[in-house]
Amino acid sequence: MMKIHLQNFGPLHDFTFDLNNDFHVLYGKNNIGKSYAMSAIYLILKYTLQAEARSKFLNLYAKNSIIDKIINSISGSSDKKSNFEESYQELITMCLEEIFLSDLTHSYQHSYTGNFENLQSKFTNKPLCVSIDFPNRLSFAVSIQNQELAITSLTIPAKIYSDILTISKTTDFKDNSSLKKFKDEFIFKTNTFLSSIFFDFEQNFQAYFLPASRSGLYEAMSSFSSIFAELSKVRSFISSKIEIPTLPEPIADYFLNISTIKTQKQENIYQKFAHKIEQSLVNAEIIFNEDSKKLEYYNPEIQLKLNLSETSSMVSELAPMVAHLKYLMNHDEKKYKVIFIEEPEAHLHPEIQVLLTEIFSELTRHNVKIVMTTHSNYIFNKINNLVLQKATERNKMAVYHIVQTTQGSIVNPHAQPSESGIEDENFAETAEKLYQERFQILD
């Protein structure tokens, strides 16, 4: 699948994410890098999913100079293999920058205050590095150079080199017809190599991001859309310039997805999970009004319909999750759905938090991968119990207790699930202090 390694990335000194895992839980103190990690990984996955479509427009014939350099390295000297590999890496680097890295650069710039200053670690003088590994296929490392993301190292499977060298053995490079045939086959193999990596992701994954304070963000942005519509009607009377704030891309994606819902007629497993939340937690339906393009609360028993702003904080906080399950998630159950969700416990009673955690665990058994941050001891303890009960596979769970060091934030290695559960080195200390404080007051 994919592994992502972040080094010296904002407050994070070292963070590794393995997409093979199904249930990812990030926790730790405030301002330690949980949101940085979530956003960075979501955007990498998003542009991995889009790269396959971009690769179809990749014109390798336009890169004649580098292809000629590769051909010269193959046909020229006895020490041609090392020269060929170096030149071929240069070509693949150019291709990756075109179909993947240019979009990611633009995205990171706009999602992290318009430049890369906030991405570079303030704890060390070491350069930022993002390593992306498609096991047995391709791996590369990215760093910042001249306010752009640039590939600084690249590893290509030996088989790719040997396949190209094999077809070169039957090529007469002095014959134009033979040379053209080699070049066409070389370009075909290179395109196939690149597109196969990204094609698998495009065919097998979808990614969704639910930010913190999602109900407030949804209500605010819904209101602003109508305000801008009204302002456009009287723009001739407005003398001063109106600046529209730039949103971090994950938040913009969230609002765009939830505002452009297309209702699905076909019942699927994810809609059943949405109904489960509606029946057991919300006690009503969350519906999408295609006229107003907004989510609404609907209680069919008493024929009550409300805007989310008129409902309880619990309902408005759960509504975006229900909408994603009910309307946005592709009904193809063979396709992995990766849901990034920040602080699902917001505005929820502990009992609801526990029930929601159970639903998340059930979803992971239906090709859904949950990636969430939390400050909830109730969610943590419920996840611990799910591991002990073996309701959640321990070897498919990743626990990231992010702790502060002098070089930045790292993941506490002792927090990984074991047969005896997950070691509590985050919530227990505060609970114990309160417990001791209580006895001091009573004494």
Q: Report whether pLDDT(415) > 90.
A: no
Residue spans of alpha helices (H) in 205-312: 214-233, 249-259, 269-277
Q: Checking DSSP bridges between strand 285-289 and strand 129-134, what pairing results, if any?
A: unpaired
Structure tokens at 229: 């519509």
Structure tokens at 335: 């396709």
The SS3 call for residue 295 is strand
Which pLDDT value is given to residue 398?
Answer: 94
The SS3 call for residue 420 is coil
Domain 1-214+336-443 has CATH 3.40.50: yes
- Which of the four pLDDT bands, split at 50, 70 and 90, describes residue 199? confident
DSSP 47-77: HHHHHHHHHTT--GGG-HHHHHHHHHHHHH-
Structure tokens at 392: 């959640």
- Which of the four pLDDT bands, split at 50, 70 and 90, describes residue 262? confident
Return all residues near 131 (Cβ < 8 A) that are at least 6 apart.
Answer: 3, 4, 5, 7, 139, 140, 141, 142
**Distance of alpha carbon 303 from alpha carbon 52, whole angstroms:** 46
Distances in Å between the Cα of 207 and the Cα atoms of 108, 210, 260 are 17, 10, 16
Q: Checking DSSP bridges between strand 368-374 and strand 23-28, what pairing results, if any?
A: parallel
Q: Report whether pLDDT(306) > 90.
A: yes
Q: How far is CA 105 from the centre of its chain?
A: 15
Q: Is 292 exposed, middle or buried (0-12, 13-18, 19+ CB in 10 A)?
A: exposed
Average pLDDT for residues 182-197, to the nearest whole number? 91
pLDDT in tens, 45-70: 999 999 988 888 889 989 989 999 99
Which pLDDT value is given to residue 264?
Answer: 67
Q: Report whether pLDDT(265) > 70.
A: no
Q: Report whether pLDDT(215) > 60.
A: yes
**Distance of alpha carbon 429 from alpha carbon 441, whole angstroms:** 18
Distances in Å between the Cα of 344 and the Cα atoms of 42, 157, 204, 324 are 17, 40, 25, 14
Q: Mutual orientation of helices 64-76 and 176-204 as an angle, nearest 10°?
A: 120
Q: What are phi and psi of 65, to 5 degrees?
A: -65, -45
pLDDT in tens, 333-389: 788 999 999 999 999 999 999 999 999 999 999 999 999 999 999 999 999 999 999
Q: Report whether pLDDT(239) > 70.
A: no
Q: Work out the end-to-end distance of the chain between its first and last CA atoms, rounded to an integer number of angstroms.
A: 57
Which pLDDT value is given to residue 88?
Answer: 94
Average pLDDT for residues 401-410, to the nearest whole number? 95
Q: What are phi and psi of 263, to 5 degrees?
A: -65, 140
How many helices (H) and strands (E) are present in the chain, helices listed first? 13, 14
pLDDT in tens, 432-442: 899 899 999 99
**Distance of alpha carbon 20 from alpha carbon 43, whole angstroms:** 17
Q: Which of 149, 152, 127 is nearest to 141 (CA)?
A: 152
Bridge partners of 421?
Answer: 418
pLDDT in tens, 8-47: 999 999 999 999 999 999 999 999 999 999 999 999 999 9
Residue spans of alpha helices (H) in 77-175: 80-96, 102-111, 158-168
pTM over 0.85: yes
Q: Is 375 exposed, middle or buried (0-12, 13-18, 19+ CB in 10 A)?
A: middle
